[in-house]
């Protein structure tokens, strides 16, 4: 008796297909879970606290820059601002709040980079994703600095210069030059972002009072270019250190502002820049209130 013809289900004939589907399902569930975590109101609330902290740090940097312009030898950078916070009555507690808030802001920015630009394609999506990643790095570095200082009881542990560390690496001179050029590009973009009002994409001003909305935009138009100019000085010093092969040259924001202050009319320039950084600090408060979630 001939064998009966058996119909084979193509899905059954491919055992890897079911396995692949299961893996796809697991990956999709993991992505959904991660998205739910970063969409949690608590993460966004902590992120807004991080933006407030970021603004406060720049307000302090502005105050320190004014002191430098007036002849004091204060350290006018984020480290100096964190030290000023640490010296306050609740310094260590405030440092931990800054660290946690900025840490949440890092998560928020990474989530934006992954899921926040689905309606945008091509180069614009790449650019916006890159901005999110760069901001995540900036917030992360400051969060680490605040956390490290809080762990040390509010004292700033001495650190080697970035230039010194990089110059010790293979092709260190080239690395320093590339980083300096990268900082200059980011600084230029910050200026462009302010002048073009590109920062408005991050804000939801639809329910804001019209006067508050106009003020937020004006603050961003002044604050973002000031931020770009301030950090552009760091980029210039990094490039100069690479060209001169000088690992001992200070290259941080503090050195950049003091170098600016030493130029002709430097005191006036530094005071104007300090005012711009203070404006950016106030803008961050509006950003915290109206940032799209």
Q: Encode pLDDT of 80-135 as tens digits.
A: 888 888 887 788 898 999 999 998 888 888 888 888 777 777 888 888 888 888 88
Q: CA-based Rg of the chain, rounded to a whole angstrom?
A: 24
State the greatest distance between any 2 C-alpha atoms of the chain, in Å, as a whole number. 107
Residue 4 DSSP SS3: coil
Q: What is the pLDDT of residue 18?
A: 55
Residue 258 carries which DSSP code? H
With a CB cutoff of 8 Å and minimum separation 6, the contacts of 197 are: 217, 220, 221
Question: Rounded to the nearest 10 degrees, how much is the dihedral formed by the CA atoms of 10, 11, 12, 14?
Answer: 90
Distance between CA atoms of residues 288 and 140, nearest Å: 17
Encoded tokens for 183: 């900082």
Distance between CA atoms of residues 95 and 249, nearest Å: 29
pLDDT tens per residue across span 180-221? 999 999 999 999 999 999 999 889 998 889 999 999 999 999
pTM confidence score: 0.80
- 272 contacts 50 by C-beta, under 8 angstroms: no
Residue 31 DSSP SS3: helix
pLDDT tens per residue across span 231-287? 999 889 889 888 888 777 777 788 888 888 888 888 899 999 999 999 999 999 999
Distance between CA atoms of residues 163 and 176, nearest Å: 7
Distances in whole angstroms, Cα of residue 289 to Cα of each of 37, 41, 49, 108, 177: 21, 14, 10, 15, 38
pLDDT tens per residue across span 229-247? 999 998 898 898 888 887 7
Residue 10 has pLDDT above 60, yes or no: no
Task: For residue 101, give the nearest of 57, 134, 153 by alpha carbon.
Answer: 57
With a CB cutoff of 8 Å and minimum separation 6, the contacts of 205 are: 212, 213, 216, 217, 290
* Residue count of the chain: 293
Residue 188 DSSP SS3: helix
- 226 contacts 282 by C-beta, under 8 angstroms: no
Helices marked H in 87-121: 91-115
With a CB cutoff of 8 Å and minimum separation 6, the contacts of 98 are: 50, 53, 56, 57, 82, 85, 142, 143, 146
Question: Rounded to the nearest 10 degrees, how much is the dihedral formed by the CA atoms of 31, 33, 34, 38?
Answer: 140
Q: What is the pLDDT of residue 190?
A: 94
Encoded tokens for 276: 């711009």
């Amino acid at each position: 008796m001939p064998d009966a013809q058996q119909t084979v289900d193509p899905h059954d004939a491919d055992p890897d297909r079911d396995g692949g589907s299961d893996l796809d399902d697991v990956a999709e569930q993991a992505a959904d879970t991660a998205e739910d975590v970063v969409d949690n109101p608590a993460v966004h609330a902590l992120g807004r606290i991080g933006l407030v902290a970021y603004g406060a740090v720049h307000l302090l940097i502005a105050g320190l820059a004014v002191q430098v312009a007036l002849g004091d030898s204060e350290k006018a950078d984020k480290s100096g601002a964190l030290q000023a916070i640490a010296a306050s009555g609740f310094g260590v507690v405030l440092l931990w709040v800054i660290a946690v808030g900025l840490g949440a802001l890092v998560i928020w920015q990474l989530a934006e980079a992954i899921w926040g630009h689905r309606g945008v394609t091509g180069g614009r999506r790449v650019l916006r994703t890159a901005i999110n990643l760069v901001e995540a790095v900036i917030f992360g570095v400051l969060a680490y600095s605040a956390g490290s200082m809080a762990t040390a009881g509010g004292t700033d542990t001495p650190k080697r210069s970035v230039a010194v560390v990089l110059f010790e690496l293979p092709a260190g001179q080239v690395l320093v030059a590339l980083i300096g050029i990268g900082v200059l590009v980011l600084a230029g973009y910050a200026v462009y972002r302010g002048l073009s009002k590109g920062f408005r994409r991050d804000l939801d001003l639809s329910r804001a009072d019209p006067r508050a909305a106009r003020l937020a935009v004006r603050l961003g138009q002044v604050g973002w270019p000031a931020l770009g100019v301030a950090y552009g000085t760091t980029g210039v010093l990094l490039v100069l250190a690479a060209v001169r092969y000088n690992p001992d040259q200070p290259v941080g924001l503090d050195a950049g502002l003091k170098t600016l202050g030493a130029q002709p009319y430097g005191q006036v320039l530094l005071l104007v820049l300090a005012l711009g950084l203070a404006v950016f600090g106030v803008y961050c408060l509006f950003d915290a209130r109206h940032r799209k979630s």
